[in-house]
Amino acid sequence: MTVHSASPGRRTRRRVSVTGLAALTALTLGACASNSGDVNATAASSAAAPSASGGTVDVEHYFSGDLGAKAFQQIFPICQKDFGVSAADPSIDHEAFKDAILVQLSGGNPPDAFSYWAGAKTQSLVTGKLVAPIDDVWAKAGLDGVMPASLASSAATYDGKKYLLPFDVHYVAFFYNPAVLTKAGITEMPKTLADLTTMAETLKGKGVTPFALGSKNRWPAQFWFDYLLLRTAGPDYRAKLMSGQAKYTDPQVAEAFAQWKALIDKGYFNASPNDIDWTDAADQVSKGEAAMTLMGTWVTGYWDGKGQKAGTNYNFFAFPEVTAGVPQAALGPVDGWVMSQQAKNTAGAASMLECFAGAKAQAIFAGVQGALPANKEAVVEGQSEVMKAAGAAVGSAPVFVFNYDLATPPAVSDIGLNAFPKFLAKPGDATAILADTQEKTAKAFTTP
């Protein structure tokens, strides 16, 4: 599998005591599960000598909300037992984190270690010399043996060095309500866009909204653009667009927007998607008001938390083929952990990263969050068939790419994320929106 890289929130800080580094236990993982079962990670032992790393370490993350709290309530006791690390939940609201961490970094008072998104966002921190390489941590933990080579090269490595510890992987696909499709007489999942359109027309005829989309926070809309561009122009062209070597006024981009507009014009989306967020869209699907939503595997964790059952109340299928012969790329984000260049306790931060690299921590997090663990040897007890299938889809995909806002530089992605809601509000303005996007992104790519 090939992988293509490509106002501040209120700061919430907690202190994390680090008293020592236990022998590193090498890891286990597989794919993911619902949060309804017990998590059990079995690991082959890797005898790394303990080293003292006293003092305290500040860590922050954006895994806010009930699922994040549940995950770290289980992870931190394991870190304490196995690595001598104790911690309160140091989370910041997911949306606020995006600005808050940059303010902390520019202000010279960042946490020692923090969660971040692989791809262009991490590259921007590396280029700005805001994060430190973690090659020593990587080698000591033996991560070359447990992290897939594709993740090691694309998600972890920047400018020839390791900077990010992959923590989880998500896969974006159509997650649907089986009962809704069954009631509409739909028994086969679509293999092509024509099949998907036929399915949508059938659902609409039954009074059901085919596609639920909540783009209030902009980013959920990107998945439609990502997949339509990937399925028509292909991953190589898309990589050129993400790096500024192609233009938003190119016919390939216009075609992706034209395909998207055709689906909107046929009334296949819910009304006013810019007025609701992704959880609202997920609720429409679980309630049977809509049939499906194009979303990442984290939606399964959201539904599991509401008592929904994998395979019974929800399932998924891959975004179908649009243009024959185009590689069927899989899409999603990779979450990870980085160490600040200005860390006050680098030894403590290294201990935290080693803990988060472990099979136990990653299996728990993946199981609760509805994610795929990055550590390929981790095992999640009670893993659902839906998540097993999602993991298999990622593993078998010829190409895996990061979603739009992680594949292009932050200054550029912000422009594109603004364009998508504008298009959803006025699809007929696509040409003007793309011209404006190209003008702004061209400046962003050339501005130091």
Q: Which residues pair with 192 in a beta bridge?
A: 321
Top-confidence residue, 47 or 224:
224
**Sign (positive/negative) of CA torsion 157, 363, 377, 320?**
negative
Q: pLDDT category, 207, cuts 50, 70, 90?
A: very high
Q: How confident is the model at residue 12 (pLDDT cuts 50, 70, 90)?
A: very low
Q: What is the pLDDT of residues 92-117, one digit of tens each?
A: 888 899 999 999 999 999 999 999 99
Cα distance between residue 285 and residue 264, in whole Å: 18
pLDDT of residue 357 exceeding 70: yes
Confidence bin at 196 (pLDDT 50/70/90): very high
Q: What pLDDT sits at residue 4? A: 60
52-61, 64-73, 121-130, 404-413: segment of lowest average pLDDT: 52-61
In Å, what is the CA distance from 53 to each residue of 19, 75, 246?
6, 19, 48
Percent of the chain with pLDDT over 90: 71
Q: What's the confidence (pLDDT) of residue 90?
A: 75
User: How do the domains of the chain map onto residue ranges?
Assistant: 2-170+333-385, 172-330+409-446
pLDDT exceeds 70 at position 379: yes
172-176 and 315-317: which strand pairing? antiparallel
The class that CATH gives domain 2-170+333-385 is: alpha beta
Which residues have CB under 8 Å from 418's CB, separation 6+?
218
Cα Rg for the chain, rounded, in angstroms? 21
CA dist., res. 337 & res. 344, Å (int): 16
Tens of pLDDT, residue by residue over 210-265, are: 999 999 999 999 999 999 999 999 999 999 999 999 999 999 999 999 999 999 99
- Mean pLDDT (whole number) for 397-425: 95
If we measure between CA atoms, which residue out of 283, 281, 311, 327 comes closest to residue 390?
Answer: 311
Per-residue pLDDT band for 88 (boundaries 50, 70, 90) equals: low
Predicted confidence at residue 209, as pLDDT, reads 98
**Domain 172-330+409-446 falls in which CATH fold?**
D-Maltodextrin-Binding Protein; domain 2 (3.40.190)
Instruction: For the chain, give the longest Cα–Cα distance.
Output: 66
The whole-number pLDDT of residue 89 equals 60
Mean pLDDT in the chain? 86
Does 172-330+409-446 match 2-170+333-385 at the fold level? yes
Six-digit token string for 33: 């599960």
pLDDT at residue number 395: 82
Lowest mean pLDDT segment, chosen from 167-171, 246-250, 376-380? 376-380
| 320 secondary structure, DSSP code | P
Indicate yes or no: pTM above 0.85.
no
pLDDT digits (tens, 9 = 90+) for 274-317: 999 999 999 999 999 999 999 999 999 899 999 999 999 999 99
pLDDT of residue 232: 98
